A and B are shown apart, each in its own frame.
Chain A
Amino acid sequence: MNDRSESSADRSAWPLLLSERNWGPWRLGIALATAAAATWCYLIGEYAGYYLNFAQGSLALTAGSMIGMLLVLLAAGPTCIRFGIDSVASTKPQFGSRGWVVPAVMQMVSIVGWNSLLLIFFAKSLSQLLRVLGWLPPGVGSQQIVPLVTLAACALVYFVLLRGASGVSRISNFLVLHVFVGLWMLYLLVSRRWPELVSALPASAGPDPLWNYTTGVEIGISSLLAWWAYLGAMIRMAPHGRTAAVPVMLGMGAPVPLLSLIGIAGVLVLKSSDPSEWLRTVGGPLYAVVALAFVAAANFGTAIAGIYASAVGLRNFSALERLSWSTVLLITVLPVALVGILIPELFFARFGAFLALIGVAFAPLCGIQIADYYVLRRGRIEIRGIYDRGLAGPYGFWRGVNPAAVVALVVGCGLYVYLLNPLTYESHGPYRYLTASLPTAFASGLLYVLLTWLFVVPRGRGGYR
């Protein structure tokens, strides 16, 4: 293996060798924490704060987040860790040598959506910061600033990621400080508004306390399930499962609910989850500047991790495999830049619906992967099969597609929407006892196992032994 390949493997979808996977638990944990902490934490907290008071909201959200993180780690983690591959590549044993395009599209759409939001937030925060500092010229407002700053942010992300995973790690070492700034903001709000916080009632709580509580848990689970798109590209830089287990749970799973407390507290007491709005109320203009700087840093760090994961995922496509890393990065960043420049306000208005629908698919995906790895294959994965693009390999299935996985995914999505409509929050069935994500993941996994035993294995497809 020559030096050039060792330094460029992290910019490909090739499997990384142990010698190239040199992130220890602290380095991995810092990178994950930097990726996890972003504006979406406030939004997640805000949604929970609509249904639950501070104490219950905090506990339900934290519990749900840790459960969601566990599901994601069990789904993509083992294959990514053992073979040094990303999340998209880990789906080839389940979806097939061509069917993996389905999870790849899910990953791309999810990450583009999230990163468009984050970089638009970054641009808005910076615009607000410039206004608070009095640095904006007369007549120049956010309508002019946001597109320009979004473009500049995309360019900065691009140049940082030219270094590949080391770019992610280096920027994380610096930006992780914002997590502590976030905790400081939480301390401010809790310490100065504690009496109001403990007595504040959620604005949209229904008459059924169990439904409200379960909804807080579901918000935590479904939010963390979206990390599936990011996880593989990050943890493949660590050498073993024992290196990654705790950093993932605490570095990626824990910061989200911790920083979401800012959103819960903010919306309950000050009717706004955005700390840049309420910190000015709590601590004056200087605190608002700090909050805005924090939001800018938080979103930038997460966008870097997301675009890196997305670029690695795109490398699985044969047409993009041979392109230079800089070109693949450009292709990855471009949709985010276009959204932020051309339609930022329209995207903002539709963003909640977009993400609610995207989140529906990750629960069944995790269920399918967990069932396949632990029940059907008992950990037996053929790495050559993952990189065999032909139809005769172990994961060739039928014309490269495993119908069992597709059916289980579709049925799972339908079940989720039946249990909890993510747009209207209308629920049915056992939702109030079980959430929507957990029964969906379980049912999709079970259906996948049954279909595989009944139809796939008897026909000798899928490389099952």
Chain B
Amino acid sequence: MDELESRLAALDSGAQQGDDFDARSWFWLAVLGVVVPAVLLVIGWYLG
């Protein structure tokens, strides 16, 4: 439990936390997860 406690203390301080998605990440998530699928869906529908 000391091990866990020291980890939690380190994370609480913020220095050992990873960063959430940043602007560049959100750009690529939007492109790959929304824009590209939307384009593929439109193309696929008109190919049918």
A239 with B37, Cβ < 8 A, contacts A213-B48, A245-B25 known: no
Q: Is A240 an interface residue (CB 8 A)?
A: yes
Chain A facing B: main interface SS? helix
Alpha-carbon distance A345/B30, docked complex (angstroms): 43
B18 near A241: Cβ-Cβ < 8 Å: yes
Partner of A60, one of B6, B25, B44: B44
B-side contacts of A394, CB under 8 Å: none
Partner of B32, one of A77, A84, A246, A379: A246
B21 near A242: Cβ-Cβ < 8 Å: yes
Q: Is A421 an interface residue (CB 8 A)?
A: no
Segment at the interface with B among A62-70, A122-130, A166-174: A62-70
Question: In the complex, what residue of chain B is closest to A16 when comparing beta carbons?
Answer: B7
B-side contacts of A21, CB under 8 Å: 18
A15 with B37, Cβ < 8 A, contacts A78-B21, A213-B44, A240-B18 known: no
Hey, which bits of chain B sit against chain A, CB under 8 A?
A: 3-4, 6-8, 10-12, 15-22, 24-25, 28-29, 32-34, 36-38, 40-41, 43-45, 47-48
B18 near A84: Cβ-Cβ < 8 Å: yes
Alpha-carbon distance A64/B36, docked complex (angstroms): 10
B36 near A66: Cβ-Cβ < 8 Å: yes
- 0/1 string, A12-36, CB within 8 A of B gives 1: 0011011101000000000000000
- What are the 4 A-B residue pairs with the smallest beta carbon separation, nearest first? A70-B33, A59-B44, A63-B37, A241-B21
**Could you list some 28 contacts between A and B, CB below 8 A?**
A9-B7, A14-B4, A18-B16, A56-B47, A59-B43, A60-B40, A62-B37, A62-B40, A63-B36, A63-B41, A66-B37, A67-B33, A67-B34, A70-B29, A70-B34, A77-B21, A81-B18, A82-B17, A83-B11, A240-B19, A241-B20, A241-B22, A245-B24, A245-B29, A246-B28, A250-B32, A379-B20, A383-B11
A55 near B8: Cβ-Cβ < 8 Å: no
Chain B facing A: main interface SS? helix
* CB interface residues, A 44-95, toward B, < 8 Å: 53, 55-56, 58-60, 62-64, 66-67, 69-70, 73-74, 77-78, 81-84
B32 near A66: Cβ-Cβ < 8 Å: yes
Determine the interface band of chain A, counting residues with CB < 8 A from chain B: 35 or more
B21 near A83: Cβ-Cβ < 8 Å: no
Alpha-carbon distance A246/B24, docked complex (angstroms): 10
Alpha-carbon distance A448/B3, docked complex (angstroms): 35
Alpha-carbon distance A82/B22, docked complex (angstroms): 12
Alpha-carbon distance A81/B21, docked complex (angstroms): 9
